[in-house]
Structure 1
């Protein structure tokens, strides 16, 4: 069963002083990497995941004006909250800000890990179906020595049992909030949220981490971050197209682009017959080689009878994110004599953007007539054509 709400806490409340040795006085979370501030990159990584419903950033008291300068705009972004003197206190501040919303799940992310991928995020969410908590981790490949004084080797650890933890660390909200509240009453500082969960008796699972999901702490880390971005040529652009047509039948409104438009007819179909979103869904699925809408939502399946087509579109967007891709731009053309579409285009862009978690500037919706020719000209139905440009990891 899919969670109804997934909140994200991005911990950015430190001063970032260790990263300043390279001559930059900018706090590391606001320092640009290839021209984009680190915190903006980290936040966008989560806003690109359609299942994420809320994002709250925990910031330092001295940085109150900085988040607004990042240029981020998304209805899921909450007002930043002020953190505490420790990371543990800052996470608790984020949890308290989310408490009135009572999300099902919460992902806790270090702002200093801007290269987290949709796959890592998705794997953590998936693991929470069967576990109280989950975190990405990488197996330790170096031989690990323990020393009591830093000079002589005491013992050699079994590296087969050792893993390096990353973020996001995900939990069921109520459980981790309760654990953090209890932990705040004892005189002990925990190294991460998974340790608090373990201390509270919660079951925490490991999922595969990512080698590029590094934490930027020292000046040399930023140089590596630049190399990660410049080496992003392993991505390729794919294009998919979609086409759909639905006839009219008696009714009083049509659904187009996720918007209900009053009309003297409605479109006939198994779902809400939103011809525009059907074409767009097929374009996205085509770009990633995942068949068409009928493969994923067969018209013979009665659970989709009358379903809102935003469900289909969100599913296609989720497949893109799970594969580590991103939607570059979408283009939809609607062909009909009536109803008139132009006045509804901004609303359609808003619905599509919200459903897929992308900016409306990446979405084009156009309408035209067929000059009274053919079945559309006789007002017997509506045609929609769409194209989708998707950036995906190179598969070869």
Structure 2
């Protein structure tokens, strides 16, 4: 199978959109637009790697958007999209993939079928682009009135990804430096490369206006129609120590919790809740306590693994709720930090994370101060 790298053009400033940040970093259906785009290519079995071209001024937004995806160092963009793509291609020259797919960051609804079709077309042609036939009647205007009707036969609306055999498009872009061409297919055409048209879907539109963002959110949410709920429960006993780890936060205490990992009952219960929603076993089946590599491990790794399983299935975690059950320590002073940490691990809005605490009115092992328990509920949405 030929090596294929997806190059995501994300260096635009999005000034026309009118938001407080570039549109590729805005949230849609619980994730930044860029993350939806990157994950679509990471999931595809024929894509070897993903590289993103960014504006370095927004490096912090980029890091937040792709946290945990394990991407290579981003490439600094240029003054124009054409310059940015050329910079990205130059950065790929050392690895020299067989194929490259160039895709707009602001097209988060790209589907596997279209990606596969563009790659397949490169077996016959040196270049191929996703495109949609023009269906509407076209009018040419002059001074605010219709001047004439344009024949739409044979006309297509170009989308991305636009795929190329890597050596060909690298040479074409270098030769076109300083010119202003409309897209990468135009660069290829100028170099004399034949460009195949691959029928794509209307849903693969470019987010350009706030209405587009709303439309994308509706489509993404509508596709996640398989709604699952999972529950989790965990208990750890107290032992000698000076702090406990609860929901990813170090909390000072007169004792610590005993366990093979860091004994974070909150994150353990929540990990099991997400695994339960996926019908994917429990935390012990993924991270056996008999395995020495997990001794003292940060439980954030367990929770992140569960979240990755959801993402691998094209789903998202809609809401999580954790209840910590103990007499001491008090959770209230640390609740906000716990919510923020869970949201960070799961890559979701803190407004979708709940952390609560209760006691058992001094009844049972938690009432006697022998340990801490936690229960959790997670709601997961998967493609229907």
User: Do the aligned partners of residues 214 and 309 (structure 1) sit closer, same or farther apart at CA in structure 2, a change above 3 Å counting?
Assistant: same
1:248 and 2:238 aligned: yes
> How far 1:366 moved relative to its partner?
0.4
Q: TM-score normalized by structure 2?
A: 0.61
User: Do the aligned partners of residues 385 and 114 (structure 1) sit closer, same or farther apart at CA in structure 2, a change above 3 Å counting?
Assistant: same
Greater Cα shift, 330-339 or 286-295: 286-295
Deviations 1:45-86 (A, max 9, x none): 4446899xx988659xxxx9xx9xxxx9897269xx98523x
Match of 1:264 among 247, 251, 254: 254
- Does the residue aligned with 1:316 lie in a helix, a strand or coil? helix
User: Do the aligned partners of residues 268 and 114 (structure 1) sit closer, same or farther apart at CA in structure 2, a change above 3 Å counting?
Assistant: same
Match of 1:40 among 8, 11, 26: 26
Q: TM-score normalized by structure 1?
A: 0.59
> How far 1:346 moved relative to its partner?
0.9
Residue 283 of structure 1 is matched in structure 2 by: 273
> How far 1:233 moved relative to its partner?
5.0
User: Do the aligned partners of residues 90 and 346 (structure 1) sit closer, same or farther apart at CA in structure 2, a change above 3 Å counting?
Assistant: same
1:385 and 2:375 aligned: yes
Deviations 1:169-223 (A, max 9, x none): 9xxxxxxxxx98x998654579659x99xx9xxxxxxxxx99576243999xx7x
- Does the residue aligned with 2:117 lie in a helix, a strand or coil? strand
Match of 1:76 among 64, 84, 96: 64
User: Do the aligned partners of residues 211 and 306 (structure 1) sit closer, same or farther apart at CA in structure 2, a change above 3 Å counting?
Assistant: farther
CA distance in 1, matches of 2:52, 2:123: 38
Contact 1:353 1:359 (C-alpha < 8 Å) held by counterparts: yes
- Does the residue aligned with 1:371 lie in a helix, a strand or coil? coil
Q: Point out where structure 2 has 5 or more consecutive residues left out of the alignment.
A: 1-6, 43-50, 67-75, 91-100, 131-159, 164-168, 192-198
Match of 2:222 among 219, 232, 237: 232
Contact 1:327 1:389 (C-alpha < 8 Å) held by counterparts: yes
Contact 2:10 2:24 (C-alpha < 8 Å) held by counterparts: no
Match of 1:114 among 94, 98, 108: 108
1:89 and 2:83 aligned: yes
1:274 and 2:264 aligned: yes
- Does the residue aligned with 1:76 lie in a helix, a strand or coil? helix
Aligned residues: 300
User: Do the aligned partners of residues 231 and 353 (structure 1) sit closer, same or farther apart at CA in structure 2, a change above 3 Å counting?
Assistant: closer
> How far 1:290 moved relative to its partner?
1.1
Contact 2:234 2:268 (C-alpha < 8 Å) held by counterparts: yes
Residue 356 of structure 1 is matched in structure 2 by: 346
Q: Point out where structure 1 has 5 or more consecutive residues left out of the alignment.
A: 1-6, 16-26, 32-36, 97-106, 121-134, 145-156, 170-178, 200-208
User: Do the aligned partners of residues 89 and 211 (structure 1) sit closer, same or farther apart at CA in structure 2, a change above 3 Å counting?
Assistant: same
CA distance in 1, matches of 2:290, 2:317: 30
> How far 1:245 moved relative to its partner?
0.5
Contact 2:8 2:104 (C-alpha < 8 Å) held by counterparts: no
Contact 2:272 2:282 (C-alpha < 8 Å) held by counterparts: yes
CA distance in 2, matches of 1:282, 1:390: 13
Residue 4 of structure 2 is matched in structure 1 by: none
CA distance in 1, matches of 2:316, 2:118: 28
Question: 1:134-149 counterparts in 2 under 5 A?
Answer: 136-139=115-118
CA distance in 1, matches of 2:298, 2:251: 14
